[in-house]
C-alpha cells in the first residue's frame, strides 16, 4: 500500500511543480538553518575524553585574593600556581596526574636542509600520555627523573616527526629546540581533541601541541608560558625563581582517580594541603577546591557560548516559520485536489487511507526538503568556516550522524506539517464532488 501511496504522491507533486518546489524549498531552508546551528552546537559540545570521563578530573584550587574573586566573581581560578603544581605532583594517590602548560619555540635539525620553524609545545609531567590516552607510534614518554630535573628529552607529534624525519622512527635521534639539543624518546599518533578540553585557555578549537617537553626544564630555560598568566596581588618579582614561587596561576592540572575510594582520599589530601598552606598565610579565601569531569569542565568553561545558543534558538524559530509555511502550502495543495480525494472516498477508500496517502505525500516533500537541506547546511557551515577565518574548521563540519539527523528532522517536521492538511482532506464529503463532476 505504501508503495502505491508513494507513486500517487510523486504523481501529485509532479502535477503542481511550482507549489511542490515551494514546499520543498520551505522545508529545505528551515532544515538548513536549523541544522547549521545545531551541527555547530553538537560539534562544540563534543567531549573528546568521553571514554575516560568518569575517572578524569580537572583540579582547581581557590588560591585567590581574600577581597575579590577571579574576574570579580566568586569563581575559582582556572589554573594553578607553579608552587602548588609541584607540591601536588608529590601525591601518590592519583593513578595518573598531569601539571602542564603551553609553550613553544624554534625547532630544527643539525646539518639539515629543513628550515627552522616554530613548534607549539606542551610542557608537561610524564603521565600526560597515559592520562589522556595519547597513543605512541614509536617509543614512549620520558623518564620519571625528567619531571623534576632538566633532562633534554622530547616527544614529537606525528606531524612534526613527518616534517623533521619524513615519518621514520626517530627515537634516539637529536633535534635542536630553542637552541639546545634534545633526544627524541617518542612519537605520538595524531591527537587532536576538539574542543581541546585538556587546555581551554586561548581558544577552544585550536591545534594541539606539535611537541611535548618534560616538566623539569623550567629553571634551565626560564620558561614563560604561551598562555594566560593571571595574578591578583602585587609581588616583588626580581628573578625567575621569584616567579616560580609567586601566586600567579599559569598551569593546568589534571588527575585520574579510578575508584570512589581514591576520589575520597584525594579530596582529603587537597583539604589537608590547603589547610597546611593556610597555616603559612596563603589561600586567604574559604577552603575550596574543584574536581571536574571533562564534561563538567567543558560546561564550566562555556565552550558553547551565548552567541551559539542564541543562534540555535533563533534557527529553531526560523524552522517553525518554515513549518507554518509548509502547513499553509500543503493545505492549499490538498484542498485543490479535494475532488480527487472525493472520488477516492466514493470508490470506497476509507478516511484513514486518504489520510495516510496525504501524509505519505507530506513525507515525500520532507525527504526532498531534507536532501536539499543537507546541501544548504553544508553551504551554511562553509560560510561559517570562512567567517571564522580558519578557527572553526574542525567544528563547522557535518558527520554522517548529523546528515541522518537532517533527513530525520526534515521528514519529522514535514509529517507534523502534514497532519492537519491530511486530516482535513480525509474529512472530504464525497457527495459534493460527485455532484459537480
Partner 1 sequence: MLELRPILSALWRHKVSALLIALQLGLTLAIVSNALVVIDERSERISRPTGLAVEDINSFSFLAIPEDYDKFEAFRLDLDMIRSLPGVASATISNHVPLSGSGSASGFYTEPNKETGGISANYYTVDEHFIDALGMKLTAGRGFSPEEVMQVGATSSERPTVAVVTQKFADEVFPEGNALGKAFFLGGDDHPIEVVGIVERNLGPWPNSSVAGRGVFYPAIMDQWFYYIVRAEPGQRDAVLKLVEEKLAERDPNRVINADTMEEQKAQQYASDNTMIKVLASVVILLTFIVALGIVGLTVFWITQRQKQIGVRRALGATRSAISRYFLLENLIIAVTGIALGAAAAQVFNGFLASEFNQPALPPIVTISCALFLLGVSLAAALVPALRAANISPATATRSV
Quote the CA–CA distance of 402 and 180 in Å, as a whole number: 47
Q: How far is the CB of 238 from partner 1 (least distance, A)?
A: 5
Q: Are 173 and 183 in contact (CB under 8 A)?
A: yes
Contact between 307 and partner 1 per CB under 8 A: yes
Quote the CA–CA distance of 418 and 416 in Å, as a whole number: 5
Q: Are 36 and 375 in contact (CB under 8 A)?
A: no
Query: 57 pairs with which residues across the strands?
Result: 255
Q: Are 59 and 343 in contact (CB under 8 A)?
A: no
* Selected binder of partner 1 within 41, 53, 83, 176 (CB under 8 A): 176
Q: How far is the CB of 221 from partner 1 (least distance, A)?
A: 8
Q: How far is the CB of 51 from partner 1 (least distance, A)?
A: 31
Contact between 275 and partner 1 per CB under 8 A: no
| Of residues 387 and 404, the one with the C-beta less far from partner 1 | 387
Stretch that binds partner 1, among 48-56, 81-89, 216-224, 345-353 (CB under 8 A): 216-224
For the chain, report the end-to-end CA distance as a whole number of angstroms. 27
Quote the CA–CA distance of 58 and 293 in Å, as a whole number: 6
Contact between 426 and partner 1 per CB under 8 A: no
The shares of helix, strand and coil residues in the chain, as percent rounded to the nearest 5, are 50, 15, 35
Q: Are 64 and 332 in contact (CB under 8 A)?
A: no
Stretch that binds partner 1, among 77-85, 188-196, 295-303, 315-323 (CB under 8 A): 315-323
Cell numbers representing residue 122 in the block: 606542551
* Selected binder of partner 1 within 7, 15, 54, 68 (CB under 8 A): 68
Phi, psi dihedrals of residue 148, rounded to the nearest 5°? -115, -20
| Of residues 91 and 230, the one with the C-beta less far from partner 1 | 230
State the chain's maximal CA–CA distance in angstroms.
101
Contact between 233 and partner 1 per CB under 8 A: yes
Quote the CA–CA distance of 26 and 2 in Å, as a whole number: 25
Stretch that binds partner 1, among 85-93, 122-130, 312-320, 362-370 (CB under 8 A): 312-320
Task: Please give the residues from 323 up to 352 whose contact with partner 1 meets the rule CB under 8 A.
Answer: 324-325, 327-329, 331-333, 335-336
Stretch that binds partner 1, among 122-130, 234-242, 341-349, 425-433 (CB under 8 A): 234-242
- Alpha-carbon distances of 37 from 323, 374, 383, 411, rounded to whole Å: 17, 13, 12, 19
Contact between 35 and partner 1 per CB under 8 A: no
* Selected binder of partner 1 within 60, 153, 194, 315 (CB under 8 A): 315
Contact between 375 and partner 1 per CB under 8 A: no
Contact between 118 and partner 1 per CB under 8 A: yes
Contact code string over 76-115 relative to partner 1, x by CB under 8 A: ----------------------------xxx-x-------
Stretch that binds partner 1, among 236-244, 256-264, 348-356, 405-413 (CB under 8 A): 236-244
Contact between 318 and partner 1 per CB under 8 A: yes
Helix (H, G, I), strand (E, B) or coil at 154: strand
Contact between 180 and partner 1 per CB under 8 A: yes
Query: 97 pairs with which residues across the strands?
Result: 255
Stretch that binds partner 1, among 17-25, 44-52, 152-160, 183-191 (CB under 8 A): 17-25
Stretch that binds partner 1, among 86-94, 290-298, 316-324, 341-349 (CB under 8 A): 316-324
The helix (H) or strand (E) run that includes residue 115 is none
* Selected binder of partner 1 within 191, 269, 391, 423 (CB under 8 A): 391
The helix (H) or strand (E) run that includes residue 260 is helix 260-279
Contact between 243 and partner 1 per CB under 8 A: yes
Contact between 364 and partner 1 per CB under 8 A: no
Quote the CA–CA distance of 380 and 33 in Å, as a whole number: 7
Quote the CA–CA distance of 242 and 237 in Å, as a whole number: 5
Closest CA to 312 of 243, 380, 401: 380
388-391: long-range contacts (C-beta < 8 A, 24 or more apart)? Answer: 391/203, 391/205, 391/206
- The binding site for partner 1 (CB under 8 A) comprises 19, 22, 25-26, 29-30, 33, 65, 67-68, 104-106, 108, 116-118, 176, 178-180, 221-222, 224, 233-234, 236-240, 242-243, 306-307, 309-311, 313-315, 317-318, 320-322, 324-325, 327-329, 331-333, 335-336, 380, 383-384, 387-389, 391, 420, 424, 436
Amino acid at each position: 500500500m505504501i508503495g502505491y501511496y508513494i507513486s500517487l504522491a510523486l504523481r501529485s507533486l509532479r502535477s503542481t511543480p511550482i507549489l511542490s518546489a515551494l514546499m520543498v524549498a520551505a522545508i529545505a531552508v528551515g532544515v538548513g538553518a536549523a541544522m547549521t546551528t545545531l551541527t555547530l552546537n553538537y560539534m562544540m559540545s563534543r567531549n573528546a575524553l568521553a571514554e575516560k570521563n568518569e575517572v578524569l578530573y580537572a583540579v582547581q584550587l581557590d588560591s585567590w585574593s581574600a577581597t575579590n574573586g577571579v574576574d570579580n566573581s566568586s569563581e575559582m581560578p582556572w589554573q594553578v600556581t607553579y608552587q602548588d603544581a609541584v607540591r601536588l605532583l608529590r601525591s601518590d594517590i592519583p593513578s595518573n596526574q598531569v601539571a602542564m602548560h603551553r609553550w613553544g619555540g624554534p625547532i630544527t635539525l643539525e646539518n639539515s636542509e629543513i628550515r627552522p620553524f616554530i613548534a607549539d609545545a606542551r610542557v608537561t609531567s610524564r603521565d600526560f600520555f597515559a592520562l589522556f590516552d595519547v597513543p605512541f607510534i614509536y617509543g614512549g614518554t620520558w623518564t620519571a627523573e625528567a619531571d623534576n630535573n632538566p633532562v633534554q628529552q622530547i616527544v614529537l607529534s606525528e606531524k612534526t616527526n613527518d616534517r623533521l624525519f619524513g615519518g621514520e622512527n626517530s627515537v634516539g635521534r637529536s633535534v635542536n629546540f630553542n637552541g639546545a639539543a634534545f633526544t627524541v624518546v617518542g612519537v605520538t599518533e595524531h591527537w587532536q581533541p576538539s574542543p581541546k578540553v585538556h587546555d581551554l585557555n586561548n581558544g577552544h578549537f585550536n591545534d594541539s601541541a606539535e611537541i611535548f617537553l618534560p616538566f623539569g626544564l623550567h629553571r634551565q630555560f626560564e620558561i614563560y608560558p604561551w598562555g594566560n598568566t593571571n595574578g591578583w596581588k602585587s609581588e616583588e618579582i626580581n628573578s625567575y625563581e621569584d616567579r616560580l614561587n609567586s601566586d600567579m596561576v599559569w598551569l593546568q592540572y589534571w588527575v585520574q582517580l579510578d575508584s570512589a575510594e581514591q576520589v575520597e582520599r584525594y579530596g582529603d589530601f587537597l583539604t589537608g594541603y590547603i589547610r597546611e598552606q593556610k597555616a603559612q598565610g596563603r589561600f586567604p579565601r574559604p577552603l575550596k577546591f574543584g574536581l571536574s569531569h571533562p564534561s563538567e569542565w567543558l560546561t564550566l568553561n562555556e565552550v558553547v557560548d551565548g552567541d551559539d545558543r542564541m543562534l540555535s534558538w533563533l534557527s529553531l524559530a526560523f524552522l517553525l516559520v518554515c513549518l507554518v509555511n509548509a502547513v499553509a502550502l500543503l493545505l492549499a495543495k490538498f484542498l485543490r485536489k479535494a475532488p480527487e480525494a472525493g472520488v477516492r472516498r466514493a470508490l470506497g477508500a476509507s478516511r484513514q487511507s486518504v489520510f495516510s496517502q496525504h501524509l505519505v505525500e507530506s513525507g515525500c516533500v520532507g525527504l526532498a526538503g531534507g536532501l536539499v537541506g543537507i546541501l544548504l547546511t553544508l553551504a551554511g557551515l562553509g560560510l561559517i568556516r570562512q567567517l571564522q577565518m580558519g578557527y572553526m574548521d574542525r567544528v563547522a563540519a557535518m558527520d554522517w550522524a548529523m546528515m541522518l539527523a537532517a533527513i530525520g528532522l526534515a521528514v519529522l517536521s514535514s509529517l507534523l506539517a502534514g497532519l492537519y492538511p491530511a486530516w482535513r482532506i480525509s474529512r472530504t464529503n464525497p457527495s459534493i464532488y460527485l455532484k459537480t463532476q
